Structure 1
Amino acid sequence: MNNIIELFEKEKSVQEFLSKIQVNDYSYLVNELSIHHGFLLTYLTFSRSQKFVVYVASNLYRANQAYEQFCALAGFDQVNLYVVDEIVSSELVAVSGDFRFERINAVKSIFENRPKIIVTHPQALLKPLIPKARFEKGIIDLQVGKIIVSSETVRNLVALGYKKMPTTSAVGEFSVRGEVIDVFSPYQDNPVRINLFDEEIESLKFFDPETQMSVSKIESFRIFPISELIYDDSEKDQAVEKIKKDAGNSPRFLENDLNDIENHNNLERINKYIRYFASEPETLLQYLTDKTVFYEDYQRLEESYQHLLLDLETYLEHLDKPPKLDLFFFYDFHNLFYEVSQKIYFSEYKKSLSGVPLNDIIPLRGYGVIDYQNDIRNLVADVRANPNKTFVFAFSKPERLGLLKEIFGENQMIFENPEAFSGVKKGKINLLLSDNAIGYGFYESNSEVITEREIFKAIKVPKMRYRSMMQNAKPITSKEDLQIGDFVVHYDYGIGKYLGIKTIDLKDIRNDYIALQFSNMELYIPVEKISLLEKYQGSEGTVPKLTNVGKGEWEKKKTKIKEKLENIAGDLIALQVKREQGRGFRYPEDSDFQKLFEADFEYEETPDQLKSVRDIKADMEKALVVDRLICGDVGYGKTEIAMRIAFKTVYSNKQVAYLAPTTILTRQHFHTFKDRFDKYGIRVELLNRMISPVRQKEIIADIRAGLVDIVIGTHRLLSDDVRFHDLGLLVVDEEQRFGV
């Protein structure tokens, strides 16, 4: 890898760029480059300056890609990921703890003054945060011999987002037993145990949460928040008072949120009330004092922001918000550039940025190398046609390099032996082993770096996985699953509110009971019967009506629901019988193009991915009408499954419709599909309200005529005027949001 970096750094245009940014904190446009050049320039800037470098990708998908690349270049411990889910409504209903911990880990690096490459995207960078000084005030510093007040420490931990539990076994929990406080921070492999002697810290130890045995002793420890919104009791009381005042006569709208604020629950979801806790929230850029910010593609950043506004508009249309209530979701677009003295914009093309103030334009005179798609014949022809060009073939696998040696040898091509490599030879064919190299080319030096990825589509390490933003409802299996104030559904009694666990002595027998508040009474359910409870699942901002126990209300409702379900079941059975009696289209077996398309996937498939694709193809190759439900968390490859099946469909002369719930998701999928399908001559179109009416009519006409192979869209696809020439596959993304 060092050889590749050194070769890149020697380029005249790269040296010009590095020398300029070291002298002046200006705004620069770097054009005539590929995304790989941008990654390398960002990495070199970071390695030379050792100050924080922020890389702003155009969206969450590209941020994840950039993060992986920077981890390969700089090392995992030198890169932070600062991202949020891009769908406003889902982020406010259910939020990934992984994303939150990643963001706070980036903030942690700032407070520890450990410069990193921070990879982000517009919605994350525009997220309002409490002022930096308030966040810093919340950090708890512990040291052996320090005097602390146990009750005060407990209150501070709650303020930082930690949950008090009987025992500490999961990240974000803490527990208290006498003079022992256990805390599990997400930034450590094990929880820490604070042993007190009266009010003095006697010892600090990491311990195994399963065995409770000590792992190692430490002299000091820093407890960082696990939420970006932190507040103490005084700040909470002031905020609640202001919220209630602004809400006026809309207490039902607030009930869930006020409950969450009171109990420090769902802090990410209530971040929209941040102006009630901090009159002037800040952003990550304001947390950073000395930084260089790289912007991946200005035009796409603008597009991403516009789609974000539309998504917020859609969300607010369905939110019965009191007019005076001051909800704050994200800052304006210009805040991406606020308090940034050194800004560097990347643009692939030789052009300036309209309306963006620039101090200088630096043309890199670079280009992206050809993706050969396993086409060895064309690779050999291109190398032979450029005898004076410097070629560097940098592979991570010796067996791949050996295969290339055989190919060049069979074609009587002279190359530099990798076993005797002593530096890149100009005008020669250089072969070398290099982990995580990336391909690029330069016109000025007449040189190219080509990796196994561009030739063989080499298997890479799978990208980082994250839990889903939208968790499915599930039965309650433990009292730890419940928070005071949660609405629950009891199988026999109906909808109630959880009040906590109460210990009751009954006939000299002491037992724990679940306290539930119903409309007309409070009931106590033995904890052993907890399986009869499920969390109530309702839409954002709605409060369910509590059941009137003993009046037959719940039984009547269950009877009606049972009747409806029986009717629905009957309809579904009839429909399924009709479908099974009908004949579907029998798809042919995989073509060579299908195999090439699937080899184009740059990550290693999971066994579940391969099984899903195999099973669906088996269905397609029968003359049946078939439904398949693919379940998996974000980042686990459902889109790749859809693309492979879509490819098979199109190459059988059928059309594909891909339905997604928001304009942002459709745009993301559109770019992903375009990147993969364009090279095969497959036409992919986007249909949502961001497309002009004139263009929509053109696309719809082409869909009807069979000129569009794949169309990706929102509910617009379901309109009466959209008619397909021959639809073979319907993909419904996030089916639960369409009532499927």
Structure 2
Amino acid sequence: MKLNLKTLTNKINSLKFDTINLDKLNEFIWPFLTANTNKTLVLVVSNNTQIDSLAKQIEYINPKAKILKFPAWDCQAYDMTNPSLDIQALRVNAIKSLEQNTKDKFIIITTNRALITKTINTADLLADITLEKDKEFSRDELTNKLLEHGFKRVENVYQSLEFAFRGDILDVMPNGSEHGYRIEFFDDEVESIHLLDIKSQRRTQEVKQAVISQENELLLNDTTVDTFTSKYLKLFPEGITDTIFAEIKQKKFVNNRFHFLSLFYNNKLKSLFEYLPEKFAILYYDNLDSNLENFYSELELSYNARSQFLADFES
């Protein structure tokens, strides 16, 4: 079945659940958390702030609950901003967990906007970079893989998606992680791996392995840029002179590049519905119909405003 905005909305509306207020969480959700069922639960709230609040309440009720957060992008459609790295990490982690652990029962907390906004197809996620103590890994190959994964080479690592080589020492900060890694080499052999405290720039606990995964929805590498340029010119044959086309071709981090997400991949984007197991139940905590209508209205207003801006700019 083709899943577009209308289909997704109808799918939600066909599930006849009453609206439930957040303050009734304990008395209503408790049976679902403790019942002997194989159903995954999808809890739909109004905004990203409520996701965190609800997750804390569920963790208090059921500490063993497997909670996945799937927030909406923290930027407006057609805006000149991109979703934050933290938001992307949560979204990618959710779809990977659902695909890799099909027998687990999850509690997925999302928003109405996130539910109908498509994300990356897991088929387009790059393979993990795994480094192990006492094993060899070419530093040149490692550098190329980190760049391919969207990392930026810097002198000192202070934030996500940065790495720094200083002699035989590599500092790297994966996206979506609470800590970085400090990896010491002897030639191409990994001598030691420690967790890295970014604030103090000091290494902490020693570990045997460092796994660096793709935790963002869009990478600018040779493959994605080539796909973008090809698809963009098919849609806009005269677009070779467009600023966004030229900047992305040079792998520059254009502010609104995420709104062209589907042009960067050959595989079709997927909605959260397409990662859910066969058995799941949706519960929502606000007026879903009116929230979706408001979202569609905002999309139209944003589109018209951006169109008018471009028309005025060109004139």
TM-score bracket for the superposition, by shorter chain length = 0.7 to 0.9
SS at match of 2:210: strand
1:334 is aligned to none
Q: Quick one: distance in 1 between partners of 2:160 and 2:38?
A: 31
1:123 is aligned to 2:113: yes
Shift in Å at residue 204 of structure 1? 1.6
CA contact under 8 A between 1:275 and 1:281: conserved in structure 2?
A: no
Shift in Å at residue 208 of structure 1? 3.0
1:195 is aligned to 184
1:159 is aligned to 148
SS at match of 2:109: strand
Shift in CA distance, 146/172, structure 1 to aligned 2, threshold 3 Å: same
**Residues 626-659 of structure 1, C-alpha deviation per residue, up to 9 Å, x if partnerless?**
xxxxxxxxxxxxxxxxxxxxxxxxxxxxxxxxxx
Q: Quick one: distance in 1 between partners of 2:290 and 2:15?
A: 21
Query: Match for 1:277: what amino acid?
Result: Y
Shift in Å at residue 289 of structure 1? 3.4
Shift in Å at residue 209 of structure 1? 3.3
CA contact under 8 A between 1:227 and 1:268: conserved in structure 2?
A: no
Q: Quick one: distance in 2 between partners of 1:82 and 1:276?
A: 22
Q: How does 1:319-718 map to 2 (within 5 A)?
A: 319-320=306-307
Shift in CA distance, 268/301, structure 1 to aligned 2, threshold 3 Å: farther
1:306 is aligned to 2:296: no
Q: Quick one: distance in 2 between partners of 1:145 and 1:271?
A: 43
Q: TM-score, normalised by structure 1?
A: 0.35
Report which structure shows greater RCO (CA 8 Å, sep ≥6). Answer: 2
Q: Quick one: distance in 1 between partners of 2:29 and 2:145?
A: 39
Shift in Å at residue 105 of structure 1? 4.1
2:224 is aligned to 235
CA contact under 8 A between 1:79 and 1:118: conserved in structure 2?
A: yes
SS at match of 2:156: coil
Gaps (5+ residues) in structure 2?
Answer: 1-13
2:163 is aligned to 174
Shift in Å at residue 91 of structure 1? 5.4
**Residues 168-223 of structure 1, C-alpha deviation per residue, up to 9 Å, x if partnerless?**
12233112234433211244333102333443333221123355432111112221
Match of 1:213 among 190, 202, 211: 202
Match of 1:256 among 244, 251, 260: 244
SS at match of 1:317: helix
CA contact under 8 A between 2:74 and 2:84: conserved in structure 1?
A: no
2:4 is aligned to none
1:134 is aligned to 124
CA contact under 8 A between 1:229 and 1:267: conserved in structure 2?
A: no
Match of 1:148 among 121, 134, 137: 137
Query: Match for 1:81: what amino acid?
Result: K
Q: Quick one: distance in 1 between partners of 2:69 and 2:296?
A: 23
1:88 is aligned to 76
SS at match of 1:138: coil
Shift in CA distance, 169/59, structure 1 to aligned 2, threshold 3 Å: closer
SS at match of 2:258: helix
Query: Match for 2:92: what amino acid?
Result: I
Shift in CA distance, 542/222, structure 1 to aligned 2, threshold 3 Å: farther
Q: Quick one: distance in 2 between partners of 1:171 and 1:541?
A: 37
Q: Quick one: distance in 2 between partners of 1:187 and 1:71?
A: 20
Shift in CA distance, 543/183, structure 1 to aligned 2, threshold 3 Å: farther
1:292 is aligned to 2:280: yes
**Residues 94-125 of structure 1, C-alpha deviation per residue, up to 9 Å, x if partnerless?**
53344333333434544664754221012112
Q: Quick one: distance in 2 between partners of 1:231 and 1:106?
A: 22
SS at match of 1:170: coil
Q: Quick one: distance in 2 between partners of 1:233 and 1:280?
A: 19
CA contact under 8 A between 1:208 and 1:215: conserved in structure 2?
A: yes
Q: Quick one: distance in 2 between partners of 1:32 and 1:264?
A: 44
Q: Quick one: distance in 2 between partners of 1:226 and 1:541?
A: 36
Q: Quick one: distance in 2 between partners of 1:72 and 1:260?
A: 45
Q: Quick one: distance in 2 between partners of 1:148 and 1:54?
A: 41
**Residues 522-555 of structure 1, C-alpha deviation per residue, up to 9 Å, x if partnerless?**
xxxxxxxxxxxxxxxxx889999xxxxxxxxxxx
Equivalences, count? 298
Gaps (5+ residues) in structure 1?
Answer: 1-26, 322-538, 545-740
CA contact under 8 A between 2:33 and 2:65: conserved in structure 1?
A: no
1:183 is aligned to 2:172: yes
Shift in Å at residue 146 of structure 1? 4.1
1:45 is aligned to 32
Query: Aligned-pair RMSD on alpha carbons?
Result: 3.9
CA contact under 8 A between 2:75 and 2:83: conserved in structure 1?
A: no
CA contact under 8 A between 1:144 and 1:220: conserved in structure 2?
A: yes
Query: Match for 1:88: what amino acid?
Result: Q
Shift in CA distance, 188/31, structure 1 to aligned 2, threshold 3 Å: closer
Q: Quick one: distance in 2 between partners of 1:80 and 1:133?
A: 20
Q: Quick one: distance in 2 between partners of 1:311 and 1:141?
A: 43
CA contact under 8 A between 1:162 and 1:174: conserved in structure 2?
A: yes
SS at match of 1:88: coil
Match of 1:223 among 196, 199, 212: 212
1:281 is aligned to 269
Q: Quick one: distance in 2 between partners of 1:208 and 1:32?
A: 44
SS at match of 1:225: coil
Q: Quick one: distance in 1 between partners of 2:262 and 2:214?
A: 16
Shift in Å at residue 257 of structure 1? 5.5
SS at match of 1:81: strand
**Residues 409-443 of structure 1, C-alpha deviation per residue, up to 9 Å, x if partnerless?**
xxxxxxxxxxxxxxxxxxxxxxxxxxxxxxxxxxx
Match of 2:260 among 257, 272, 277: 272
Q: Answer with 176-185 or 108-117: which moved more.
A: 108-117
Q: Quick one: distance in 2 between partners of 1:288 and 1:282?
A: 11
Q: Quick one: distance in 2 between partners of 1:222 and 1:541?
A: 47
Shift in Å at residue 279 of structure 1? 3.8
1:99 is aligned to 87
CA contact under 8 A between 1:182 and 1:194: conserved in structure 2?
A: yes
Shift in CA distance, 29/77, structure 1 to aligned 2, threshold 3 Å: closer
CA contact under 8 A between 2:244 and 2:254: conserved in structure 1?
A: no
Q: Quick one: distance in 1 between partners of 2:157 and 2:74?
A: 32
CA contact under 8 A between 1:81 and 1:102: conserved in structure 2?
A: yes
